Amino acid sequence: MDFESEEIRITKAVQRGESGLYLGPTKNGESRTIKADEKTMSFFEQWKSEQAEIYKEKGFKSNAKRQLVFSNEHNVLQDPNKTVQWLASFLQKYDLDYITAHGLRHTHCSLLFEAGATIKEVQYRLGHRDVKTTLDVYAHVTKKVIAETIDKFTNFLHEPDGD
């Protein structure tokens, strides 16, 4: 993470093999850097400080350049199934509708489209090698976007033509 430029670099993915968890290549084999907003980065910065204190008390060093953002209690790879448990607990605690971690990714994507992001921008952010994957899996149109389509058309028709 680069807190100054508000960027997150995604270079590896947690994989499960015969001997347990390991870091392997991303799904498409390519690294990517995505921008994050200031508030999100401040949450990550706060978490990094809290994480350092937690691990210091346990005798682990967490100031390495490649420190995992979300590691387990031994400061090693976190089992992805743990995320499912955390999310379910959070949703139950705050009486929220059930959603999976992948569902959060899907929602993020949908909201990006609703906010006006292009298909190529969303493709890169999600790490899809082929834009067809993004279109096939994520490009369902939200009700808000459907409703705004006629407004875009009407505004276009009524724009001065520059004469």
The whole-number mean pLDDT for each consecutive block of 10 residues of the chain, a chain of 163 residues, reads 92 92 90 93 94 91 83 89 91 94 88 87 90 79 73 85 57
Q: How many CB atoms lie within 10 A of CB 123?
A: 21
Residue 50: predicted pLDDT: 93
Cα-trace Rg, the chain: 20
The answer to whether the beta carbons of residues 47 and 68 sit under 8 Å apart is no
Residue 22: predicted pLDDT: 94
Residue 142: predicted pLDDT: 61
Residue 15: predicted pLDDT: 92
The per-residue DSSP string of 66-106 comes to: T--SSB-TTSSBPPHHHHHHHHHHHHHHTT-----HHHHHH
What lies within 8 Å, CB to CB, of 67 at 6+ separation is 48, 51
pTM: 0.71
Q: Please tell us whether the domain made up of 1-78 is placed in CATH 3.40.50.1820.
A: no
Rounded Cα–Cα distance for residues 107 and 75 (Å): 30
C-alpha angle 135-137-138 in degrees, rounded to nearest 5: 70
Residue 38: predicted pLDDT: 94
Domain ranges of the chain: 1-78, 99-163
Rounded Cα–Cα distance for residues 32 and 38 (Å): 19
Query: Which residues, in sequence order, are bridge partners of residue 16?
Result: 21
